[in-house]
Chain A
Amino acid sequence: MSETLTGPLRRQRRPVGEALAGIMLTLPAAISYFLLLLLPTLAAIMLAFTDYELGAPAIGWIGGENFVELLDDLGFRQSLRNTMVYTAIVVPFSIIGALALALMIEALTRGKALFRAVFFLPVVSLPVAMATAWQYLLHPTIGPLNALLREIGVNGPAWLTSSDTVLVSLAVIGIWEAIGFNLVLFLAGLTAIPRELRQAAEVDGVASAWERFRLITWPLLGPTTLFVVTITMIRAVRTFDSVAVLTQGGPNRASEVLLYTMYTEGFTYFRLGYSAAITLIFLLIVLALMLLQTRILDRRVHYG
């Protein structure tokens, strides 16, 4: 009853100008979103179903042929597998490492800011410049790492030029890059846990640090951990800089990752349609990871 009365009344009271003003105010953002994000994405999706090559006189609609070709493309399959292996190494190590470091830094009474800055440095440093440093560190003959190994009588491998070790070496660099970023996220998550909860646990008889971690820190860090897992996975899947600078996907495609394949197909062989198909698959993977976060895991880690 009251709804039928107030509904139209309320609408009448609201001036038309207000709605118009709202539209006008969101318009700049909406236009730039459309032009800069939606349109290129749509273009890429369209392109994935064509045989377009840069400089080609005509553009042909070929349906799903690019994807059929991708399935049979040994190079692409190798690249997909490499990306998965890389992600599978980087994600757990960078997350567990970052969590451990964050707990240690949080427990410090002084020097918190210093350690936070030290571990965050890789995130703000130039990836290309850092890659050069890594190249020196991991150099088979003049690199300090192998020099150290020689001291203890081990003949170190050619870290970045042997197909057995190159992916692991790149993953270690990836962990080094990701750990600082994850650390800062975990530290922020830890600060958000009320100190009184830890004190309440202490009064309730939770004596050991491990029990306190299990009872409070780990569950309350859930939302942070979930975010860190998702963002680390996405960042690992789209790794590119270190591969491009250090190995160019070599040797023998042993370190070729998804984005690097996309890049070579698009900008070395100019097969833009094929490259767009890889982009689309990349997008689907990222989308799937985000869905995993919002739909499934989100429900288990928020207590609001």
Chain B
Amino acid sequence: MSGIRIEDVTRRFGAVTALDRVSLSVQAGEFVALVGPSGCGKTTLMRIVAGIEHVDSGRVIINGSDMTRKRAAERNVAMVFQSYALYPHLTVRQNISVPLVMKRLSMGQRLPLIGGFWPGADAVRRGITNDVGKAASALGLGELLDRRPAQLSGGQRQRVALARAIVRRPAAFLMDEPLSNLDAALRVQTRREIVDIHRQTGAATLYVTHDQSEALTMADRVAVMQAGRILQIGTPEEVYGNPVDLRVASFIGSPRINTLPVEADADGQLHLGDVLLMRHAPRGPLTFAIRPEDCELADAGIPVRAEAMEFLGENFLLHCQHPPSGRTLVLRLPPGAPRARPGELLHIGFNPSRALLFDAEGRRLDPDLRVSQQEHAFV
């Protein structure tokens, strides 16, 4: 099997378990984003795949062979570091050619001074120059080949780091928050380019980010991590629309999903306002969650007090306070919707089929247990 397979990987730093039996696979040609808040272990996992961090238990399999105990240099994976990690004393051309020089030239051919006279070195070096030129022009670096990293802008450095990664055909492509040092406009533009590069190279790509919107827009599949565990792996649509865990629901999506504490009545029926959410709900405190775009202003429903408006252009956000719980609820409303004054008392209606319910541990309640859609009187 080609691609990356991570099996049951555990890594501890002293008393802290950074990764707790994590499994994940990235097929050849697939783009998987590993997303989570800082400190969740996503970078550690990537470094373990690269071979610059070791595992306490578990296996890392790349292109079908077990690489767990192999050194980074033997794994044929390419990595783009968050800091880019360009060699400051080498020109752009030399930076990009390092992986090829190490791979194609023999020990003798690499020797300074006499290496050039080593048999066969000439042809290999011509090949390297050729491939470096191709990688550089693919990323629009043709004019900058003789510059040093210090003479480049942040975006240009990032491209050099990408070129250095794609110049050899790696078995896997690892990227550790490659866009985090770029300004917002460049970041959006570069997202597209990275996806294009991924398409062209066809390598299994693992992309680490703390930015959920990056993960959703770029990846074929998204793995949401928290506290050293992968909570959910799925397509962007799945992790957004069908989260299995309250932490996934809260992490994915901006603005954050609205949550309210709810509890079933004595008959086991779960109501919110006059909407019946579940006929046979478990006992104990539950969490109701609804995305801002699945809410609307209504004549009856959840009573709230309007707090503030945020105009976003294509729509606007209405921030409300839910007095009984003290929670803030956010509505995404079309630009034509009636405006609310701060302090005004309103009612929020929601699409019950879009409502999510989680148990006390934050696990998603089985959606099949919900009242079927026909029974709802849409508010």
Chain B 35-61: CB-based contact to A (< 8 A → 1; otherwise 0): 000000000000100111000000000
Known contacts A203-B78, A303-B148, A304-B150; A196/B83 CB under 8 A: yes
Which of the candidate stretches B85-93, B238-246, B257-265, B297-305 sits at the interface with the other chain? B85-93
Chain B, residue nearest A220 (CB): B89
Alpha-carbon distance between A303 and B149 when the two chains are bound, in angstroms: 9
Residue B280, interface by CB 8 Å = no
Known contacts A196-B81, A303-B150; A203/B50 CB under 8 A: yes
Q: At the interface, is chain A mostly helix, strand, loop or mixed?
A: helix
Chain B, residue nearest A222 (CB): B89
Which of the candidate stretches A33-41, A60-68, A204-212, A234-242 sits at the interface with the other chain? A204-212
Query: What is the CB-to-nearest-CB distance from B3 to chain A, in angstroms, rounded to a whole number?
Result: 18
Residue B98, interface by CB 8 Å = yes
Contact call A303/B88, Cβ cutoff below 8 A = yes
Tally of contact residues, B, Cβ under 8 A: 30
Residue B72, interface by CB 8 Å = yes
Chain A 173-203: CB-based contact to B (< 8 A → 1; otherwise 0): 0000000000000000000001011011111
Contact call A207/B74, Cβ cutoff below 8 A = yes
Query: What is the CB-to-nearest-CB distance from A114 to chain B, in angstroms, rounded to a whole number?
Result: 22
Contact call A199/B102, Cβ cutoff below 8 A = no
Interface residues on A, range: 20 to 34
Residue B77, interface by CB 8 Å = yes
Residue A216, interface by CB 8 Å = yes
Residue B164, interface by CB 8 Å = yes
Out of A194, A219, A220, name the residue touching B83 (CB < 8 Å). Answer: A194
Residues facing A in B88-119 (CB within 8 A) are 88-89, 98-99, 102-103, 110, 112
Residue B376, interface by CB 8 Å = no
Residues facing B in A270-304 (CB within 8 A) are 303-304
Q: Which residues of A contact B74 (CB under 8 A)?
A: 207
Out of B50, B75, B78, B85, name the residue touching A197 (CB < 8 Å). Answer: B85
Contact call A205/B103, Cβ cutoff below 8 A = yes
> Which interface residue of B78, B86, B87 has the most chain A CB atoms within 10 A?
B87
Q: Which residues of B contact A245 (CB under 8 A)?
A: none
Out of B79, B83, B148, name the residue touching A203 (CB < 8 Å). Answer: B79
Known contacts A201-B98, A219-B89, A303-B150; A207/B81 CB under 8 A: no
Alpha-carbon distance between A240 and B337 when the two chains are bound, in angstroms: 89
Contact call A220/B88, Cβ cutoff below 8 A = yes
Contact call B87/A216, Cβ cutoff below 8 A = yes
Chain A, residue nearest B150 (CB): A304
Contact call A204/B150, Cβ cutoff below 8 A = no
Chain A, residue nearest B73 (CB): A207
Contact call A205/B73, Cβ cutoff below 8 A = yes
Alpha-carbon distance between A222 and B148 when the two chains are bound, in angstroms: 16
Residue B169, interface by CB 8 Å = no
Q: Which residues of B contact A201 (CB under 8 A)?
A: 87, 98
Residue B327, interface by CB 8 Å = no
Residue A117, interface by CB 8 Å = no
Alpha-carbon distance between A196 and B99 when the two chains are bound, in angstroms: 16
Residues facing A in B116-152 (CB within 8 A) are 148-150
Residue B71, interface by CB 8 Å = yes
Q: Which residues of B contact A197 (CB under 8 A)?
A: 85, 87
Contact call B72/A199, Cβ cutoff below 8 A = yes
Contact call B102/A204, Cβ cutoff below 8 A = yes
Q: Which residues of A contact B52 (CB under 8 A)?
A: 199, 202-203
Q: Which residues of A contact B85 (CB under 8 A)?
A: 194, 196-197, 199-200
Out of B50, B86, B99, B149, name the residue touching A205 (CB < 8 Å). Answer: B99
Q: Which residues of B contact A304 (CB under 8 A)?
A: 150
Q: Which residues of A contact B87 (CB under 8 A)?
A: 197, 200-201, 215-216, 219
> Which interface residue of A201, A205, A219, A303 has the most chain B CB atoms within 10 A?
A205
Known contacts A215-B98, A220-B88, A303-B150; A202/B83 CB under 8 A: no
List the interface of chain A (C-beta within 8 A of B). Answer: 194, 196-197, 199-207, 211, 214-216, 219-220, 222, 303-304
Known: A199-B81, A200-B86, A211-B110. 11 other contacts (CB 8 A): A197-B87, A199-B47, A199-B72, A202-B52, A203-B51, A203-B72, A204-B73, A205-B73, A205-B98, A206-B98, A207-B102
Closest 7 CB pairs of A and B: A205-B102, A200-B85, A207-B73, A202-B72, A219-B89, A196-B85, A204-B99
28 contacts between A and B (CB under 8 A): A194-B83, A197-B87, A199-B47, A199-B85, A200-B79, A200-B86, A201-B87, A201-B98, A202-B51, A203-B50, A203-B52, A203-B72, A203-B73, A203-B75, A203-B79, A204-B102, A204-B164, A205-B73, A205-B99, A205-B102, A206-B73, A206-B98, A206-B102, A211-B102, A211-B110, A303-B89, A303-B148, A304-B150
